[in-house]
Amino acid sequence: MPRKIPEPTGRTRTNLITAYATGTPGRALAKNHKVSEATMAKWLRRWGATKGPATSDPGVDREEAVRLYNDGTPLSTLMRHYGVTRRRMELLLEAWDVPVRRTPRHPQTDPKVDREEAVRLYNDGTSAQALAQLYGVTPDRVKRRLRAWDVPLRTRKQAAQHTARTRRETQARALDAYRLFP
């Protein structure tokens, strides 16, 4: 049986409670103190530690972060610079009354996939895989766009039938090209 890890006391305990209250995840605290997440959660419950308002973080300079963000610095750059998670950075900005810019996700518009051409090609029988190679994106992205554009996707059976039919037509055209007498 592994030895029991002694529960922190004094300054270490105070630091853990403060870190947890300011938003440090229990998982990170457990990793830093080399205990399991369950043990850390048990200690925090026993000490009555609660998550407090996310108004400050010792590693994030409020004025600089707000200035950089308002000047157009992406959230991902700020999180890497300060070494915090995306959620933590969002919580801090919201606590400082800075409106967080959300990256718009509009499946109706995709700069890489041309709507009219993709729909026409797909309806003419081109596979999602072939469209993905044409536009340099993943097949799932093409399928998501087609669904967003209300294009009914082919089932596997329909796709296999279409492939077989196309193969037969191609072979027939090739044979017709080599016939001496039509």
Q: Is 9 left (phi over 0), alpha (psi -120 to 50) or beta?
A: beta
Interatomic CA distance for residues 77 and 64, integer angstroms: 13
Helix axes 128-135, 139-148, angle to 10 degrees: 110
In tens, the pLDDT along 66-88 reads: 898 888 888 888 888 888 777 77
In tens, the pLDDT along 33-51 reads: 888 888 888 888 887 776 7
In tens, the pLDDT along 84-139 reads: 777 778 878 888 888 887 655 555 556 677 788 888 888 888 888 888 888 888 88
Amino acid identity of 30?
A
Average pLDDT along the chain: 80
Worst-scoring range by mean pLDDT, 106-110, 119-123, 148-152, 158-162?
A: 106-110
Q: Give the number of other Cβ atoms within 10 Å of residue 55's Cβ.
A: 12
The structure tokens 């399991």 sit at 36
55 pLDDT above the threshold of 70? no
Interatomic CA distance for residues 139 and 132, integer angstroms: 5
155 pLDDT above the threshold of 80? yes
In sequence order, what are the residues at sequence separation of 6 or more whose Cβ sits closer than 8 angstroms to the Cβ of residue 8?
16, 33, 43
Please name which of 132, 160, 156, 159 lies closest in space to residue 146, comparing C-alpha atoms. Answer: 132
Please name which of 24, 10, 42 lies closest in space to residue 92, comparing C-alpha atoms. Answer: 24
Tokens of 71: 């000047």
Which pLDDT belongs to residue 111?
Answer: 65
Q: What is the mean pLDDT of residues 128-153?
A: 87
In tens, the pLDDT along 13-34 reads: 888 877 877 777 888 888 888 8
Which pLDDT belongs to residue 115?
Answer: 84
Which pLDDT belongs to residue 110?
Answer: 60
Which pLDDT belongs to residue 160?
Answer: 83
Q: Give the number of other Cβ atoms within 10 Å of residue 16's Cβ.
A: 22
Question: pLDDT band at residue 54, thresholds of 50, 70 and 90?
Answer: low
